[in-house]
Amino acid sequence: MLIPVGRRHITESHLLSRRRFVADALAASCGALAAPSLMAAPESNRTSTASALISLSAVDAVRMLRNGDMNAESYATALLGRCAAGQSLNAFITLRPELVLEGAHECDRSRRAGAKLGPLHGLPIAIKDSVNTRDLPTTAGTPALRHFQPREDSPLVRALRDAGAIVLGKTNLHELSYGYTSNNHAFGAIHNPYDPTRIPGGSSGGTAVSIAYRMAALGVAEDTEGSIRVPAALCGITGFRPTTGRYPTRGCVPISPLFDQVGPHARTVADLALFDAVVTGDPIAPSVQSLKGVRLGVIRKFWYTGLDPEVERVTETALERLRRAGVELIEGELPELPRLIALITDPVQNHDVKPSITRYLAEYQAGVTFEELLAQASPDVRRIIEPAITATGKDFVSDAQYQEVVNVHLPALRAMYKDYFARSGVAAIVFPATMLPAPTIGEEDMEVVVAGRRMALDDAMSRNIAPGSTAGLPGLVLPAGLSSNGLPVALEFDGSAGADRKILELGLKLESVLGKLPPP
């Protein structure tokens, strides 16, 4: 049976045996990894071995797994041990260790048998719990879908499994992906590993936390208006939202087909590029040899105004490092950007959310209607959605208004960006991903003060991140540094539509200059 633990649900047998299971499996697999004498080694040596495993990048882990330098059960068990150690962060809604180890065992059997190994052979991947999986529920973080079990994987998950990946578990998120805090009132708040009193960002907070805390090397997130990039920024990891439509989004709980896009979280750009290569079939190209002469656009009148002082300090320091590496920062303006974003971003989502979710619930036979789902949703989510779907609501968008947005304003935004990239010759636009570092959990119901100005938290999180996803551009988030109180600050690099591989290739070199953050 299922019994509640906190606000999560695990089977009774899991509750009784999970700690013993993980400990025994870790001990056994560490012996298989290194040497028969390892289990006689001091506890500190075994801890060191597990620490080394969980710190591997996805690229390094897959290389070792494919070469037989470690076995999949060893690696999976080390990650499961880390998941258990970080359980208080509440990164996962569903985690079933026995399924993970069964998958790892099969990967090891296939390698021993000489089978052809996929590019993600034996790699456990964390999946946002809004992406369909055939063997784990897909809750979207909302009560009405708590027990919804899709019959098949989403195309994206199927592609990852076909490449040899193992589903590690389903990660917690802001309910229905409708928020930036991941303070989920149904399944519990997710905690930032750099400071558990603070938010991890949203909506894909659980995936970001799992990567930052070394529970996984690679994860699947989803982004309609910042849900990949905000958590990546606040948790000190890399995140990539591709050009809209680059990866398949069928079988994912939607908000708007115009903006929705799945994408990866990782700790290195090389891991993001590996994910992209697996999903698209595009080969991984080497990084540019030098940043000398690379042009990056800086639009100060939009992205750099009103920033938290610590975000401003870290951003300017990072830009100076890029300058010293040879980057040319090209100052420019996009005067129409604020007006177009106001006309497009929220109206599209407000119009699309009800018909999009209604279609999803029917197509995948979730067993509930949209009205039933919303009635059971947490009050904070209902307060956002109800005014958008009620004809007299303040956020309601009629079909006629929507057609004007889609046929007039959205093409104008895309044309503006296309013209800017052509005129400026920049490889990407660079800007701070969010206006402030991670605020405390619970602050989402209040205004926050940013550089002396009071504003809604959602605005502080979304202002910089919204234009790229609204226009459908590829956006790469890289850690830029830590604030004075140890919180991650990030830069985003938005490229022109379709320039995904160029942005990832550039990101490899940018990452080498910006450096990496210390682990939480």
- C-alpha angle 469-472-475 in degrees, rounded to nearest 5: 60
Q: What percent of the chain has pLDDT over 70?
A: 89
How far is residue 352's CA from residue 333's CA, in Å, rounded to a whole number? 31
What's the average model confidence in pLDDT over 356-369? 98
Q: What is the pLDDT of residue 43?
A: 53
What's the average model confidence in pLDDT over 82-109? 98
Residue 22 has pLDDT above 70, yes or no: no
How far is residue 420's CA from residue 410's CA, in Å, rounded to a whole number? 16
Higher pLDDT, 192 or 9: 192
Q: Could you tell me which of 89, 76, 18 has the C-alpha nearest to residue 50?
A: 76
* Identity of the amino acid at 486: G
- Residue 229: which residues within 8 A CB-CB, separation 6 or more? 223, 239, 241, 433, 465, 468, 475, 477, 492
How far is residue 387's CA from residue 384's CA, in Å, rounded to a whole number? 7
How far is residue 434's CA from residue 304's CA, in Å, rounded to a whole number? 10
Tokens of 279: 């999903």
User: Which member of 128, 154, 204, 469 is catalytic?
Assistant: 128
Q: Residues 367-408: pLDDT tens digits?
A: 999 999 999 999 999 999 999 999 999 999 999 999 999 999
Q: What is the pLDDT of residue 25?
A: 39
The residue to which tokens 């990239």 are assigned: 421
Expressed in angstroms, the distance from the first to the final Cα of the chain is 36
* Residue 203 among the catalytic residues: yes
Tokens of 226: 């910042």
| Residue 252, CB-side half-sphere exposure with 13 Å CA sphere | 27
Residue 32 has pLDDT above 60, yes or no: no
Q: What is the pLDDT of residue 40?
A: 38
User: Which helix (H) or strand (E) is 381 found in, with range?
Assistant: helix 379-389
How far is residue 231's CA from residue 234's CA, in Å, rounded to a whole number? 5
The residue to which tokens 């041990």 are assigned: 81
50 confidence band (pLDDT: 50, 70, 90): confident
Tokens of 182: 């991941």
Tokens of 381: 């989510």
Q: What is the pLDDT of residue 283?
A: 78
Residue 488 has pLDDT above 60, yes or no: yes
How far is residue 5's CA from residue 458's CA, in Å, rounded to a whole number? 30
CATH number of 2-280: 3.90.1300.10
Q: What is the pLDDT of residue 45?
A: 60
β pairing state of 428-432 and 488-494: antiparallel
User: Which member of 130, 182, 203, 483 is catalytic?
Assistant: 203
- Rounded to 10 deg, the angle between the 269-280 and 500-514 helix axes is 160
Tokens of 220: 């699947």
* Residue 128 among the catalytic residues: yes
pTM score over 0.75: yes
For residue 339, count other CB atoms closer than 10 A to its CB: 12
3-state secondary structure of 336: coil
Q: Could you tell me which of 212, 232, 206 has the C-alpha nearest to residue 90?
A: 206
Min mean pLDDT across 274-288, 418-432, 482-496 is at: 274-288
* Residue 394 among the catalytic residues: no
Q: What is the pLDDT of residue 286?
A: 66
Q: What are the sequence ranges of the domains in the chain?
A: 2-280
What's the average model confidence in pLDDT over 73-90? 98
Q: How far is CA 313 from CA 389, 504, 511, 514, 520, in A?
A: 41, 26, 19, 14, 21
How far is residue 173's CA from residue 126's CA, in Å, rounded to a whole number? 12
How far is residue 209's CA from residue 90's CA, in Å, rounded to a whole number? 9
Residue by residue, DSSP assigns 432-500 as ESSSSS--BTTGGGSEEEETTEEEEHHHHHHTTTHHHHHHT--EEEEEEEE-TTS-EEEEEEE--TT-H
Q: Residues 101-145: pLDDT tens digits?
A: 999 999 999 999 999 999 999 999 999 999 999 999 999 999 999
Q: Could you tell me which of 426, 425, 405 has the C-alpha nearest to residue 414?
A: 405
Q: What is the pLDDT of residue 49?
A: 86
User: Which member of 29, 130, 204, 227 is catalytic?
Assistant: 227
